[in-house]
Structure 1
Amino acid sequence: MSDTRRRAEPATPELRSLFDRIYAANKTNADLGRLLGLDGSQVTRIIKGTRQIQRHEWKRIEEWLGSAIPESHETGEVTVMPGLVPLYGWAGAASDERLTFAEQTLIGAVPRHPNQQNARGAFALRVSDESMAPRYEPGETVYVAPNQWPAREQDCVLVTHEGYGYLKRFVRRFDGVVTVRQLNPESELTFPVDDIAAMHAVVGRG
């Protein structure tokens, strides 16, 4: 097909294998975007290798393609049953305010939060730092609606293209810059929109 020749070449062998499988299944980049709740520019960044596919997204893709999760993306022996969502832990602190999000680890499954009922690919995260204390303490769980921009003053997980994650409170998006707030110590952080790979709204806690 002439359309195939115009497709951008995926940046890595792993991505080429993935998109070969997607196209072989007669699915498109737009289909992938709808599956993950991403717009066209974010899918393009995946192809170019500038936006990492997160572990919970790999799981959705593999289920979508009807195959097992590749060993390189296997997250453990936990089987997520109906009515439950996967619970991830952060891989580790990269600094006092950010954590490594791209390599988060599946540590279990928890009941789906009522606010996640209509959230595709919903998951939960175990809090591991004190930057949002006293609202969230280490060991607590937050429930996430993936790729959903938060409302003003709603908590969120902001993920950069470098793979760093920030559990913060959304303040504003203005003039190409996103501002979020942390509580401990209280401060505001700013990120150019182009540096953001994903925004996940926090819809519950437990």
Structure 2
Amino acid sequence: MVISRVNRGLKRMKARAEEKRTKAHPALETIKTRIAERLEAAGLSGREASVRAKLGLTYANDILGGRSLNPTRETLAKLGAVLDTDADYFFGTQETPRLPASNLAPARSNIVAETRIPAATIPLFQIGLTDPDGFFALNADRRSAYSSPLISNRDAFAITVPDDCMAPRYRIGEVVVVSPSKPVVHGGFALVRQTDDRVAIRQIVTISTDKITVRCLNTEGDIDIPRSQVKALERIIGSCELV
């Protein structure tokens, strides 16, 4: 009797799993259209984007080709991190590819004029070449003032992006704004500061007691940095073009 009930339960579970696998998501056509759009915007093939998102070789192409009918929010969020967009955009519940970061929204001069927000001035570090390992120093002799009415964090500072390691999320020559006081979460983007005070822009994959696992978006394979070599993780709260 017990074995029979267990078998029936397993059959029901398998049936539900099969139904979920074969039942198309209601927004599937929107998902397919917007994945294709973001691939074109990023200049990536479906295979390249899938590999960079750590989703295998065919994830994006399986959706586009109708072989995967019910993609999950979790996997679409991973793909979105590579294609500079949010999962809600794929589902059609968000009109623009990416919502503004928490403290750095797109410039809208009419709103700024109406609310008369005072401009905040923060340090801006102009970055030249990186070291062979991708890290770089924040040199005081390459520091200038950067002013924007859209920055409210008193401890924030800005740096120019030195390479395309984090493209398409952050491209060379853009400015990223860093807030040392804001917490860094798994999957977020941060400035990784080593004990020698050299830094690098990376996506934070995991934070454990003995290591920090980070990722570049345009290379394969995650990188483990011993916790003893990491002085701080400082959250990136937004980016914009340098004007």
TM range (shorter): 0.5 to 0.7
Within a 5 Å distance, the mapping from 1:52-71 to structure 2 comes to: none
Q: SS where residue 202 of structure 1 aligns?
A: strand
Deviation at 1:158, TM superposition (A): 0.4
1:1-206 superposed matches below 5 A: 83-95=120-132, 97-101=134-138, 105-111=142-148, 113-114=150-151, 117=152, 119-206=153-240
Partners of 2:131 and 2:149 lie apart in 1 by 29
Q: Sequence identity of aligned pairs in percent?
A: 24
**In 2, Cα distance between equivalents of 1:190 and 1:181:** 9
Higher strand share: 1
> More deviation in 81-90 or 173-182?
81-90
Matched-pair contact (CA < 8 Å) for 1:178–1:192: yes
1:97 deviation in Å?
Answer: 2.2
TM-score (norm 2): 0.45
Kept in 2, the 8 Å contact 1:86–1:108? The answer is: yes
Structure 1 residue runs without a partner (length 5+): 1-80
For the structure 1 residues 133 and 203, does the alpha-carbon distance in structure 2 shift closer, same or farther, using more than 3 Å as the test? same
Cα–Cα, structure 1 residues 125 and 194, in superposed 2: closer, same or farther, change >3 Å?
same
User: Which sections of structure 2, spanning at least 5 residues, go unmatched?
Assistant: 1-117
Deviation at 1:102, TM superposition (A): 5.7
Distance in 2 (CA, whole Å) between partners of 1:172 and 1:165 is 18
Which protein has the bigger helix share?
A: 2
Larger Cα-atom Rg: 2
AA of the residue aligned to 1:139: G
Counting matched residue pairs gives 123
Coordinate RMSD, CA, aligned? 2.3
- TM superposition shift of 1:113: 3.9
Q: 1:186 to 1:97 in 2, by over 3 A?
A: farther
Q: d(CA) in 2 for partners of 1:175 and 1:190? A: 12
